[in-house]
Amino acid sequence: MPLGDLKLESIAGLPVAHLSGEIDRSNAAELGDRVATAIDDHGGGLVVDLSELAFLDSTGIRMLFKLAAELKRRQQALRVVVPDGSHLGELLDTVGLKHAAATDHTVGEAVAALTPTG
C-alpha cells in the first residue's frame, strides 16, 4: 500500500483535506503540518476526508486530535469523513475522537454541517 497522500481543495469556502494511502509514524507529522496550513483564521472549520485511507496508526490518530485542538483554539470545528461501515469508524469511536471532532459519512454532509445557514 502507498504511503499517505494529501489533496487539498476548497468546497463552499471550506478547506477539505483528502487523505489516502497509509498514515503512520513515518509521515503523520508531515501530513498533519500540511493539513494545518489549510486552516484559515477566519474560516468555519476543516473537513478531513478519510474515505480513501487504508491504514491509520496511533500517530495518525494523534494528528487528528492535534488538528481538532488547534481548530478549537481558533473557535472552529473539525469534521472527519469516514464512510459508513469503515473499520476506521470503529477505531475512531474506540479512541474517543467524537469528544474532539464530529464524524460524517460523506464530504457533502461534513461541509453542510460547517456551512452557516440562512
How far is 77 from 44, CA to CA, in rounded Å? 7
Cα–Cα distance list, 47 to 2, 10, 44, 107, 109 (Å): 22, 10, 10, 7, 10
pLDDT score of 51: 97
**pLDDT values of the chain reduced to their tens digit, one per residue, 118 residues:** 568 999 999 999 999 999 999 999 999 999 999 999 999 888 889 999 999 999 999 999 999 999 999 999 999 999 999 999 899 999 999 999 999 999 999 999 999 999 987 4
Contact call for residues 81 and 106 (beta carbons, < 8 A): yes
Measured CA to CA, the distance from residue 16 to residue 47 in angstroms comes to: 5
State the CATH architecture for 5-114.
Answer: 2-Layer Sandwich (3.30)
pTM of the full structure: 0.95
Question: How far is it between the farthest Cα atoms of the chain?
Answer: 44
Instruction: Please list the alpha-helical segments (H only) found in 1-118.
Output: 28-36, 58-73, 87-94, 107-114
pLDDT score for 43: 83
